[in-house]
């Protein structure tokens, strides 16, 4: 199993030197996000590029100095002897959806809008996963879930097979077996 992470060339240099760092928030909880694929990386690469464009436009990279071009980081995962939680199945998606829908307004009001909706959703995912770890007495090393492309993304693939794609969110970086970096030319975007 493989995954692609899109970021800037400058950030990729830091990852090469210091390794990945787990994010504290994300659309499906904290961790490092990769677009999952098995043989054909075309859609995963497309999603990595779209999220890079979105992050660049949103100003997420404004504090970074250096080359802001896109870099794809492709990893091979070592799935042996690791605990993976698959939230992409219908029943798990329904449980997460119900949790978010029943708690989000309550949490927004309680927190007086001091945090973003995405931070609240990320926290709900993390709480849900922590509860599973406690109940099952395990540590989750990776989460597989469906994450949509960013708003405004274009492309025909989602139109035919659904816009959400499977993301692997690593919470244990020891699952990375092999890493490859590839930069895109500015002409590609």
The per-residue pLDDT for 6 is 93
Q: Which residues pair with 169 in a beta bridge?
A: 33, 143
DSSP string, 96-148: HHHHHHHHHHHHHHHTTT-S-HHHHHHHHHHHHHHHHHHHHT----EEEEEEP
The per-residue pLDDT for 124 is 87
Burial of 101 (0-12, 13-18, 19+ CB in 10 A): exposed
Number of domains in the chain: 1
Q: Domain limits at 100?
A: 2-188
The per-residue pLDDT for 21 is 94
The per-residue pLDDT for 155 is 61
Distance CA 75, CA 144 (A): 15
Regions of the chain short of the pLDDT cut 50:
186-189
């Amino acid at each position: 199993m493989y995954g692609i992470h899109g970021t800037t060339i400058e950030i990729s240099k830091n990852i090469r030197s210091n390794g990945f760092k787990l994010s504290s928030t994300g659309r499906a909880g904290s961790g490092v996000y990769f677009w999952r694929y098995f043989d054909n990386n075309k859609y995963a690469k497309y999603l990595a590029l779209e999220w890079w464009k979105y992050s660049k436009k949103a100003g997420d990279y404004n504090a970074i100095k250096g080359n802001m071009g896109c870099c794809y980081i492709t990893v091979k995962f070592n799935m042996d002897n690791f605990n993976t939680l698959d939230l992409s199945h219908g029943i798990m998606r329904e449980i997460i959806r119900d949790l978010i829908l029943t708690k989000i307004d309550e949490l927004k009001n309680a927190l007086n809008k001091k945090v973003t909706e995405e931070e609240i959703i990320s926290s709900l995912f993390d709480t849900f996963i922590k509860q599973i770890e406690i109940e099952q007495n395990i540590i989750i090393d990776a989460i597989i879930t469906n994450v949509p492309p960013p708003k405004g993304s274009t492309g025909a693939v989602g139109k035919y097979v659904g816009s959400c794609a499977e993301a692997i969110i690593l919470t244990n970086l020891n699952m990375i077996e092999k890493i490859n970096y590839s930069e895109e030319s500015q002409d590609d975007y």
